[in-house]
Amino acid sequence: MARHDFDPATVQPDGRPAAKATLFNAAGEGPWRGSVPGLDLQGPVTVLAYGTDEIGVGPRLHVHPYDETFIVVAGHGRFFVGETVIDAAAGEIVLGPAGVPHKFENLGPGRLQTIDIHHSRTWIQTDLEEIA
């Protein structure tokens, strides 16, 4: 299906060059595989890669002053966003709105792998619970 949502003549490039950065080393260890601040690419978002093979494990409860979008790349996760609980599987996306505390965990079986998009040029976070 061809798309024609806008007239390209109405948008002028802002002069930024195309850019590239490494998000993670595919052979790397640990759940936090890497992050790329939007500042490094002169872009509007910061991107993180997270993954774990441990069932029931995930980032602790935290909050951001901006939206965060979670893309489930592999596995099954349970997302706690404010008072809402959302189960999501590979290919699904979850939104954590600005100012709403959130966390997620691996439901299994197998690995949970996410790409987390912080709608900010830098990663800004306040943790609301300690590591157990």
pLDDT averaged over consecutive 10-residue blocks of the chain (132 residues)?
A: 84 84 76 82 92 95 96 96 96 96 97 96 92 61
Q: What angle do CA 21, 53, 124 make, to 5 degrees?
A: 45
Q: Report the pLDDT value the prediction gives residue 98, as an integer from 0 to 100.
A: 96
**Closest C-alpha among 87, 129, 131 to residue 112:** 87
**Which of helix, strand or coil describes residue 80?**
strand
Pairing of strands 112-118, 68-74: antiparallel
CA distance 62 to 130: 10
**Which of helix, strand or coil describes residue 40?**
helix
Domains of the chain and any CATH numbers: 31-124 (2.60.120.10)
Q: Report the pLDDT value the prediction gives residue 11, as an integer from 0 to 100.
A: 87
Q: Report the pLDDT value the prediction gives residue 2, as an integer from 0 to 100.
A: 83
Q: Report the pLDDT value the prediction gives residue 54, as an integer from 0 to 100.
A: 96
